[in-house]
Amino acid sequence: MVEKLKKLWLDGEFVEWDQAKVHILTHSLHYGLGVFDGMRAYKRADGATYVFRLREHIDRLFDGCKMCFLTPQHTREQVMSVCLEVLRVNGLAEGYLRPIVYVGEGAMGIYVPNNPVRTAVLAWHWGAYLGDEALKSGIRAKISSFARHHVNVSLAKAKMCGQYTNSVLAKREAKLGGYDEAILLDTSGYVSEGSGENIFIVRRGIIYTPDLSCSILEGLTRDTIITLAREMGLTVIECRLTRDQLWMADEVFFTGTAAEVTPVREVDNRAIGDGTVGPITKKLQARFFDIVRGSDTSHPEWLTRV
Ligand SMILES: Cc1ncc(COP(=O)(O)O)c(C=O)c1O
């Protein structure tokens, strides 16, 4: 359950948490067109709170809106400063921020050009998405019977609300089957991503991840890990991957704002490597956490102080 905070921001003003209601006629509720994003704020070793990659998350939100013909009533700069304000107003030193742009009530039917485009920003406490143990020891994943949307069926690069039914169904299937997370293939059978994470494999010291022409979200944690790995002298290849490459990998891990850097110790009941967290995953995970929560100051451009 999301723990109730004091206030959230809705269309230009702060409203009490319990008053933040939407009308049942809200168009996005029925038809799914809306765009959201998610970012984390961390308390670092210097005692201050920083939002990780705030500008890029808001850029992705606005890029998604552009692709969906949604014109937010507020600028990128306004939404960025609201994100910081939401944390301050709620006294949140660490948490998850969720801006969402959606189509409000008015007309019904598929084409509603005059319904209001609304924007909300809220935050909540969110610990390790897949659990603390998952970060330490890794998770068990299963390839889903649901394929990721074909690139011409939906917009993989947008965090579009309705698109997430695909993720929700895949995740439910995986959990009901006794696994922690789903891995989705694309409609041609190549590896796409997790229900809410990008995926990486390591084989013979080389890191591989699906390239951006695949049906994947352009994850900011993905970009962070690729940058850090290359800085650490590791080779990263972005290319199409097959299911058997997952099974043969020495290491597999997920990246995401929610999932951070989560090792995968088993895929489809096959142990990855020796079934424990591999050395490259460990190194990248440690560097990631040192940047977001520790004292590594090598990427000040990724951190916005609250
Ligand atoms: C489908 C999907 N893929 C990948 C990611 C990871 O993206 P990011 O690292 O920007 O959070 C997310 C989460 O936002 C997601 O929902």
What's the total number of domains in the chain? 2
Q: How many Å lie between the centroid of ligand 1 and the Cα of residue 193?
A: 9
pLDDT digits 0-9 by tens, 291-304: 999 999 999 999 99
Point out the ligand 1 atom lying closest to the alpha carbon of residue 195. Answer: 1
Is 232 a domain residue?
yes
**Residues having CB within 6 Å of any atom of ligand 1:** 38, 167, 193, 196-198, 217, 219-222, 255-257
Statement to judge: residues 83 and 204 lie in one domain? no
Are 42 and 156 members of one domain?
no
**Residues counted in the chain:** 306
140 lies in the same domain as 281 = yes
Mean predicted confidence (pLDDT) in 106-126: 97
Residues of 260-291 as b/e, b for ≥16 C-beta within 10 angstroms? bbbbbbbbeeeebbeeebbebbeebbebbebb
305 within domain boundaries:
no
Place of tokens 């998604």: 64
- Measured by CA distance, the residue closest to atom 2 of ligand 1 is 196
- Looking at the structure, tell me whether residues 152 and 223 fall in a common domain: yes
* Annotation marks residue 66 as catalytic: no
Are 10 and 128 contacting, i.e. CB atoms less than 8 angstroms apart? no
Q: Could you tell me if 146 and 219 lie in one domain?
A: yes
- Residue 89 in any domain: the answer is yes
- Picking from 124, 149, 176, the residue at the C-terminal end of a domain is 124
Domain boundary among 124, 154, 185: 124
139 shares a domain with 286: yes
Contact between residue 98 and residue 36 where contact means Cβ atoms under 8 Å apart = yes
Distance of alpha carbon 103 from alpha carbon 251, whole angstroms: 42
The mean pLDDT of 207-222, rounded to a whole number, is 98
Q: Please identify, among 96, 124, 152, the residue that sits at the C-terminal boundary of a domain.
A: 124
Catalytic residue among 7, 142, 159, 171: 159
Domain shared by 190 and 275, yes or no:
yes
CATH number, position 90: 3.30.470.10
Mean pLDDT (the chain) is 97
The CATH number covering residue 174 comes to 3.20.10.10
Contact of 139 with 271, CB cutoff 8 Å? no
Which atom of ligand 1 sits closest to the CA of residue 53?
10
Q: Which helix (H) or strand (E) holds 288?
A: helix 279-292
Q: List pLDDT tens digits, range 158-204.
A: 999 999 999 999 999 999 999 999 999 999 999 999 999 999 999 99
Q: Which of 36, 39, 51, 198 for a ligand 1 pocket mutation test, highest count of atoms within 8 Å of Cβ?
A: 198
Task: Specify the pLDDT at position 157.
Answer: 97
**What letter represents residue 80's amino acid?**
M
Q: Average pLDDT of 211-230? A: 98
Q: What is the C-alpha separation between 65 and 71, in angstroms, rounded?
A: 7
Same domain, 181 and 228: yes
Q: Is residue 303 assigned to a domain?
A: no
Percent of the chain with pLDDT over 90: 99
The rounded distance, in Å, linking the Cα atoms of 136 and 129 is 13
The pLDDT of 83-88, averaged and rounded, is 98
Same domain, 139 and 54: no
Assess if residue 1 is contained within a domain: no
Kindly state whether residues 216 and 183 are assigned to the same domain: yes
User: Do 118 and 177 fall within a single domain?
Assistant: no
Residue 300 domain flag: no
Inside any domain, residue 14: yes
Residue in this structure with the two tokens 């100051």, named with its chain if needed? 297
Are 78 and 150 found together in one domain?
Answer: no
For the question of whether the overall pTM of this predicted structure is more than 0.75, the answer is: yes
Its domain, for residue 68, covers: 7-124
Assign 3-state DSSP to the chain and report helix, strand, coil percentages, each to 5.
30, 25, 45
